[in-house]
Amino acid sequence: MYYLMKKFKNIFYRMTFFTLALLLSANAFAHHVLGRPAYSLNEDSNTPPSMQVETQIGKYFLTYMIFPAFPKPGEKGRINIYASRIDSGDTLASPISFFVRDGGWFADKKEEELGTQDVYDGVYRQGFVFKEKGSYIITAKFEADGEPYSIDFPLQIGESTSMLPVGVALGSIVLVLVAVNIVQRKRLIREKILDTRNDA
C-alpha cells in the first residue's frame, strides 16, 4: 500500500507541474510578424493575414483571409474572400453580405450587418473596425443559381482570453487527482486501523 501511495503522489505532482507549465505557456503571445511590430500594421500591409482558410461550400470553393495579422480594437481591418465554382473555376459574380455576431460562450446570437460587397478584381473586400476586444463570428451570405449560401468563420480582436475551456479541463483533472489522493489516504488509514484491531 505504501508503494501505491507513493506512486499516486508522484503522479499527482507530475500532473500539477504539467498543468502549471501549460497554463504559464498559454500566456505567451506573438507580438511581431516578419520582424516588424504588429502594432504598426494595418489592413494595407504586405504581411500575411491572421487567418487564411480554404473551404468548399456547395458548388463553390472559398478562400477567406483577415487582415492585419493581429486585429486590435479601434484599428481598421479587412476581410478578403475569393469565391469560384468548383467545376469551371469561374469567379462568383453575386454580391456577398457580411454579418457579425458575438462569438463568446454565453453571448447574444443577434447579428449585425457589416455591409454588402460586389466582386472587384476577383476579390470581395469588407472593411471593419471593432471598438471592443473579443471573439466574434463573421458570416458571409450570398445567393447563386437560385440557392442561398452561408459560411461562418471566427474573428479575434485583441488578445485572446479564451483560456476558460482549457482552464476548466485542467482544473477538472487536478480535482480528480486530488479526490483520488484523498480516497487512497482514507483507505490506507482504514486498513491500518483494521490491522491494529486484528493484531490486538
pLDDT at residue number 8: 62
- Name the pTM for this structure: 0.56
Grid cell of 51 as nine digits? 487567418
Q: Kindly report, residue by residue over 116-170, the tens digit of the pLDDT.
A: 999 998 899 999 998 888 888 899 999 998 899 998 888 888 876 555 566 667 7
pLDDT per 10-residue tile (average), the chain, 200 residues: 62 68 51 41 55 84 86 89 91 93 73 92 91 89 91 84 62 76 81 78
88 φ, ψ (degrees, to nearest 5):
-110, -20
pLDDT at residue number 83: 92
pLDDT at residue number 166: 62
